[in-house]
Amino acid sequence: MFFQSVGLLSRERRTQLAAFQRKAGIRFRSLELLNLSFTHRSCGNEDASRSLNNERLEFLGDAVLGLVAASTLYQILGERSEGELARIKSYVVSEEVLSELAKGLELDEYILLGKGEEQSGGRAKKAILADAAEALIGAYYLDSGFDAASRFVRGLIEPEIGKVLQNRHHKDYKTMLQEYAQKFHKSYPMYRLTKRSGPDHDRTFWVSCEVAGAEYGTHSGKNKKEAEQNAAQAAYDAIIEAGGLEAARLLKIDGQ
């Protein structure tokens, strides 16, 4: 079978899934499929009877999300260049945005995790939340068709597109800094991991950033990607404060 039969879902779980649907404003024909979209692979690591997980649905949901995002941007921003549309789409479908959308849907309350992942704070991890959001989209597409999934996705991403257009969005400082360095210094920013601290399940990473021979300090994050973003932001802000205003104009979707 593709997923568990509804008879294997407890009454409590069915009640939880019904509550989620009311909050999200969607309705699944198959509670089993909805439940599968919330099932992280760590469940199967500890319980062979729950070996099915949401990874295949995540793969499908990523494709549906990408198509709906591209179509929406094409329709509402027809005057923008392909490059600008691609940049906005990249932001809208990013892990950062998807994890925040997942929090807004309260997916963290419904995700099924193995004990180890639960204890390591998996319920709050951006990657797990973003993956669950994509899996939910994939499941809804299978359950109710493309039109219903498209309406659901558009309802989620249109406010995020609005944030970009109003310059209220989370900015990808690594990309912005790279574009600045390439244009004005014909080089790339250099990131160096300087320190790790904390236990394996709660690590903090420290990264320094260098641009054109100038080092802009060391900054931390809960993973290397986050630390590099924080280091890039500090470097970018320092360059702007020093008078490198041209950098702020490089990313057109910033509205500069």
Q: Give the residue from 104, 156, 157, 162 showing the smallest Cα distance to 129.
A: 104
Question: Of the ranges 182-186, 203-207, 244-248, which is most confident?
Answer: 203-207
For each of the domains in the chain, give its residue range(s) and CATH number, in order of start.
6-165 (1.10.1520.10), 173-254 (3.30.160.20)
- Give the chain's end-to-end CA distance (angstroms, integer): 53
Asked whether the beta carbons of 119 and 201 are under 8 A apart, the reply is yes
Q: What is the reported pTM?
A: 0.69
DSSP states of 141-208 as a string? HHHH-HHHHHHHHHHHHHHHHHHHHTT-SPP-HHHHHHHHHHHHHSS--EEEEEEEES-GGG-EEEEE
Asked whether the beta carbons of 175 and 251 are under 8 A apart, the reply is yes
Buried residues in 67-87 as b, exposed as e (16+ CB within 10 A) = ebbbebbeeeeeebeeebbeb
Q: Which residues are catalytic?
A: 62, 134
Q: Give the residue from 84, 88, 56, 95 showing the smallest Cα distance to 69.
A: 88
36's tokens: 């599968």
Q: Residue range 129-149: average pLDDT? A: 97
Distance, CA of 11 to CA of 32 (rounded, Å): 13
Least reliable range by pLDDT among 44-53, 145-154, 197-206 = 44-53
47's tokens: 């319980």
The predicted pLDDT at position 82 comes to 83
The pLDDT confidence band at residue 87, using thresholds 50, 70 and 90, is confident
